[in-house]
Amino acid sequence: MRHGATLWGEENRFAGWGDTPLSETGMKEARKAAATLVRSGLSFDIGYTSCLLRAQQTLDIALDEMQQRDLPVRREWRLNERHYGALQGETRSAMIDRYGNGHVVEWRRSFDAIPPALKDDDPRWQEQLDRLPQIPIADQPRTESMAQAADRVAPLWHEAIRPDLAAGKQLLVVAHTSALRGLIRLIEGLSDKEAADFRIATAIPRVYVMDEDFKPIRIMDLSEGMASSIRYWVTALKPRGIGWI
């Protein structure tokens, strides 16, 4: 599940590794997602989330609503959102004014395009290092492509998530579009183009039932009610050539 709507999202700002909290809307989305999971009869043995506030808040709210507050939770930096470099915290319209719509669209939609990196003297770089000291400096990105963000999830899949599944555990993963793209790329065997085209709406659970070889037998997006359905389809049908949407 992707985290709920955020304050920066509502201001149309790039988030990346910036630590924007959930908005009131995002908190409501998390509670509704939890209710949907309960009605679906799902419960979990382990939770996974990122080192970013918006994903952790979403998982905490969901576990509270599901009365699974004691669930073991792993907070993994490899599940962080794609790093948007020098775009982070900036509005999309301002970045289009600065770099042009074509560049912003390429950075957002191309699987391999890399946004401008944070520089040594950028206060956002030092804030990141101060906020996330548990992440080795060699693993702290200054910017990332979609491909780089997807690839960094692979070790977590092979070393932790897949072994948990092999042990018969039911997992709830709450993270971000790019990290989930990396997981789903592995699970579904997506091509680079299919991975780049992958989208997921905020706080709509996506359920995988897998066989013994970890191949999906069934995939379900649990969208309940008009608001969730609208959010699901708006995300799926967003135009791809406009950088500010």
> What pLDDT is stored for residue 61 in this prediction?
97
Does 174 fall in a domain?
yes
Query: Does residue 168 belong to any structural domain of this protein?
Result: yes
CATH number of the domain that residue 184 is part of: 3.40.50.1240
Q: CA torsion 29→55→184→206, rounded to 10°?
A: -20
Total domain count, the chain? 1
Question: What was the pLDDT predicted at 238?
Answer: 56
| Runs of H (alpha helix) within the chain | 7-10, 24-39, 53-65, 92-99, 101-109, 123-131, 146-151, 154-156, 162-166, 177-188, 192-197, 225-236
For the question of residue 3 being annotated catalytic, the response is yes
Q: Is 75 within 8 Å of 190 (Cβ atoms)?
A: no
In the annotation, is 81 catalytic? yes
Asked, for residue 17, whether it belongs to a domain, the answer is yes
Is residue 210 in a domain? yes
Domain annotation covers residue 161: yes
The reply to whether the predicted model has a pTM over 0.85 is yes
> Which one from 81, 83, 144, 176 is the annotated catalytic residue?
81
The parent domain of residue 121 ranges over 7-236
* Domain annotation covers residue 175: yes
Supply the pLDDT for residue 65.
Answer: 96
The pLDDT tens digits along the chain (245 residues) read: 999 999 999 999 999 999 999 999 999 999 999 999 999 999 999 999 999 999 999 999 999 999 999 999 999 999 999 999 999 999 999 999 999 999 999 999 999 999 999 999 999 999 999 999 999 999 999 999 999 999 999 999 999 999 999 999 999 999 999 999 999 999 999 999 999 999 899 999 999 999 999 999 999 999 865 455 544 555 555 555 665 55
- Residue 2: inside a domain: no
> Is the residue at 185 inside a domain?
yes
Nearest to 206 by CA among 188, 227, 230: 188
Alpha-carbon gap, residue 226 to 165, rounded angstroms: 33
- Whole-number pLDDT of residue 223: 80
